[in-house]
């Protein structure tokens, strides 16, 4: 099985789980039932020589992989959680239930919460899917902190997304190039700023978002000015940066595979996500490793940069407290 090979032979550091195969709807996906999923997570974790990040998108509402129809706990949308802007009780209760479920299943990383602002309610990938807590950055930060804290008590990592802000966009980066230059405003950074001051950030996920006022050439995932400059230098974040799915059309339609891998790592991304769901390749992991090796040989990537990323990822995994060594 390719995933077993990649964990054993290629040092794959994490997996992301899906409840359906978009590239082949007739194929069984990773998530069928609680019992099956727990068995799968245990199998993969036991196979890994070091702690494996096992991640899932379990935001709530329309964006989740664990559905009641398959025997999992129900979970309302972020908009519903954030409807009472002054009271985070519902958010905390929903997050506690979610985190307890994930921990029991063996999932140690939830790619949530969304901290994008609901500034464009017609946004096809944020607003219309009810993925944002609020259009107010203070309310978003308050609810996100409650979510993250509840996950931490269960030993589950959270990931804030999509940096530097997807809420004002008018397009979906799954489907193509997204230019937020005329819509994005700096107050979309405020949830990140607040959460970082509170030490409430485990991981940050970049969005495949182009903003010529921040980088005249590349979207955020491939942008050193946005990742190293804005996120790390201006906002002071020194933790793990993870990409959104590198197979989304905003990247895959505009950059070659090797170029995307090398540019993102050179820009400051520490972990690359290839969902292998929008399209499938059994060799995606060795291809990415070869792209890195070639990038090092050509001088596009530096060993220092990659070792720095490895250090951040290892430090993050140490927090999970269950390394195999």
Task: Look up 162 and say whether it is catalytic.
Answer: no
Print burial letters for 246-256: b (CB count within 10 Å at least 16), e (below 16): bbbbbbbebbe
The pLDDT assigned to 173 comes to 83
The pLDDT assigned to 224 comes to 98
Supply the CATH classification number for the domain 2-318: 3.20.20.300
Selecting among 136, 149, 174, 228, the annotated active-site residue is 174
The pLDDT assigned to 278 comes to 87
Rounded-to-integer distance, Cα 262 and Cα 34, Å = 37
The pLDDT assigned to 93 comes to 98
Rounded-to-integer distance, Cα 59 and Cα 45, Å = 23
Domain borders along the chain are 2-318
Q: Report mean pLDDT in 10-residue bins for the chain, 325 residues.
A: 94 93 70 95 96 98 96 97 88 98 98 98 96 98 98 99 97 87 97 99 98 98 98 98 96 95 98 92 95 98 98 96 61
Rounded-to-integer distance, Cα 325 and Cα 307, Å = 20
Selecting among 6, 57, 215, 244, the annotated active-site residue is 244
The pLDDT assigned to 23 comes to 66
Instruction: Provide the CB-side half-sphere exposure for 306 (13 A, CA).
Output: 15
Task: Look up 151 and say whether it is catalytic.
Answer: no
The pLDDT assigned to 124 comes to 95
Taking the CA atoms of 114, 177, 279 and 244 in sequence, report the sign of the dihedral they define.
negative
The pLDDT assigned to 40 comes to 96
The pLDDT assigned to 322 comes to 63
Peptide linkage before 164 cis (omega within 30 of 0): yes
């Amino acid at each position: 099985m390719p995933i077993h090979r990649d964990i054993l032979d290629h040092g794959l550091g994490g997996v992301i789980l899906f409840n359906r195969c978009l590239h082949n709807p007739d194929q069984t996906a990773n998530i069928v039932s609680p019992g099956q999923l727990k068995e799968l997570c245990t199998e993969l974790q036991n196979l890994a020589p070091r702690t494996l990040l096992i991640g899932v998108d379990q935001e709530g509402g329309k964006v989740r992989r664990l559905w009641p129809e398959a025997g999992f706990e129900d979970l309302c949308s972020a908009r519903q959680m954030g409807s009472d802007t002054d009271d985070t009780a519902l958010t905390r209760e929903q997050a506690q239930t979610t985190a307890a479920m994930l921990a029991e299943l063996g999932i140690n990383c939830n790619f949530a919460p969304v901290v994008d602002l609901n500034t464009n309610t017609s946004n096809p990938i944020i607003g219309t899917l009810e993925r944002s807590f609020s259009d107010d950055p203070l309310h978003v930060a308050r609810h996100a902190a409650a979510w993250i804290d509840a996950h931490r008590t269960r030993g589950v990592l959270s990931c804030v997304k999509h940096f530097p802000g997807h809420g004002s966009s008018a397009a979906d980066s799954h489907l193509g190039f997204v230019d937020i230059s005329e819509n994005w405003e700096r107050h979309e950074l405020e949830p990140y700023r607040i959460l970082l001051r509170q030490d409430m950030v485990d991981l940050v996920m970049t969005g495949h978002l182009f903003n010529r006022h921040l980088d005249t050439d590349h979207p955020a995932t491939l942008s050193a000015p946005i990742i190293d400059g804005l996120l790390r230098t201006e906002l002071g974040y020194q933790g793990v940066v993870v990409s959104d799915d590198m197979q989304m059309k905003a990247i895959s339609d505009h950059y070659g595979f090797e170029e995307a891998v090398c540019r993102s790592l050179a820009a400051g991304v520490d972990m690359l996500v290839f969902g292998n769901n929008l399209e499938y390749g059994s060799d995606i992991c060795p291809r990415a490793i070869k792209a890195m090796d070639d990038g090092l040989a050509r001088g596009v990537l530096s060993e220092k940069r990659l070792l720095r990323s490895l250090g951040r990822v290892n430090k993050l995994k140490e927090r999970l407290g269950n390394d195999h060594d």
